[in-house]
Amino acid sequence: MTNKILLSAKSLSRHYGSQHAVNNVSFDIHQGEVLGFLGPNGAGKSTTMKILSGNLAPHNGEITINGFDLLSNPKQAKAHIGYLPEQPPLYKELTVKEFLSFCAQINQIKSSRRRLAVDTVIERCGLNNVTRRLIGHLSKGYQQRVGIAQAIIHSPAVVILDEPTSGLDPIQIREIRLLIREIATEHSVILSTHILPEVQTLCDRVQIINQGKLIFNDSISGLSQLMEASNLLITLTSPPDIMHLQKLDGVITVDDLGHNHFRLHYQPDHNPTENLLHRAVAENWQLTELTAERHSLEDVFMNIIQDESPSNEQVA
């Protein structure tokens, strides 16, 4: 990944009366990066996406798209943005090719290059077999592909996708995810989603917004570390007295789960596995199971936002 910043948001704020839908949000996205944008309903996700795409003006803050200020030079900046809202902006009475040709025109692609631009996105988005079909007659999955095609037809620096797999079946979801990863090889992608496993599958970095504030910003590897619980699940055929387990170096407490199963809680920087293996062999505890317990991504998400209890209803 290069270090080139394609989108920079600084101190973005948007309020409705006393309600802060977006409150002092700042972040960057680099070339070739897929940024997952998460948050509970009403957290300010959709408002932020609308601001970044130029569809809603912030009350405060700055946005730079590929070197152009979105507020002072909107025309130049928006030329470097591709946007797919949750409901794709499709003209369903047109065929796929007619619609994409229209999109090429309104994105001011030169007439000499329009045919190539249309053919390229048709190929990239897997639309070759439906180019002459009316969009209104396509499945939800194919309509979503057309929506992505219109977002990338002008080769924008930044592609913003709002819930791109919402309402799709498992096969369609897999196909759209593969398409998004392919798009990210040439563009930067901001992906808003409610589907937490989608973040692990697609994203390089994750941001979580709650009550309009950005409360988490880290890489997928950083998120994975949070999923690592400081617990070991063990099974001993000939277990010692529980006090012997509690005296293992690094162990804080031990839960007796019954039937020779135990959960060892240990200090995060002091994993007792090596000591446990040594003692189990030396004292013939007959260790038959040793599993590092993990938090689910949902657990981590809830832990991050649990201290951010809303005092009033927020604006999405």
Q: Where are the domains of the chain?
A: 5-225, 226-296
Residue 48 has what pLDDT? 92
Mean pLDDT of 48-76: 94
pLDDT of residue 307: 59
**Dist CA 72 CA 81 (whole Å):** 15
Distance CA 52, CA 61 (A): 11
Per-residue confidence band for 103, with pLDDT thresholds at 50, 70 and 90: very high
pLDDT value of position 315: 44
Whole-number pLDDT of residue 283: 95
Which CATH number describes the domain made up of 5-225? 3.40.50.300
Integer Cα distance of 97 and 63 in angstroms: 33
pLDDT for residue 90 = 96
- C-alpha–C-alpha distance, residues 180 and 211, integer Å: 28
Q: Which one is the CATH code of 226-296: 2.60.120, 3.30.70, 2.40.50, 1.10.1060?
A: 3.30.70
Task: Give me the phi and psi of 61, to 5 degrees please.
Answer: 115, 175
Task: Specify the higher pLDDT residue, 115 or 46.
Answer: 115
At 316, the pLDDT band (50, 70, 90 cuts) reads very low
The rounded mean pLDDT for the chain is 89
- Between 6-20, 258-272, 296-310, the lowest mean confidence (pLDDT) is in 296-310
Task: State the average pLDDT over residues 247-265.
Answer: 93
Q: Which pTM does this prediction carry?
A: 0.78
Local structure of residue 226 (DSSP, 8 states) = H
pLDDT at 118 over 90: yes
Strand partners, 249: none
What is the rounded distance in angstroms from the CA atom of residue 193 to the CA atom of residue 163? 5
Give the tens place of pLDDT for each residue, 195-216. 888 888 899 999 999 989 999 8
- Average pLDDT estimate for 22-34: 93
Sign of torsion over alpha carbons 198, 200, 201, 204: positive
CA angle 72, 90, 199 (to 5 degrees): 75
Exposure string of 101-130, with b = 16+ CB inside 10 Å and e = fewer, is bebbeebebeeeebeebbebbbebbbbeeb
Q: Which residues of 152-185 are buried (b: 16+ CB within 10 A; e: fewer)?
A: bbbebbbbbbbbbbeebeeebbebbbebbeebbe
Contacts for 172 with CB less than 8 Å, ≥ 6 apart: 139, 140, 141, 144, 165
Q: Is the pLDDT of residue 17 over 50?
A: yes
Q: What is the mean pLDDT of residues 295-302?
A: 79
How sure is the predictor about 311, in pLDDT bands with cuts at 50, 70 and 90? very low
Per-residue pLDDT tens for 137-152? 999 999 999 999 999 9
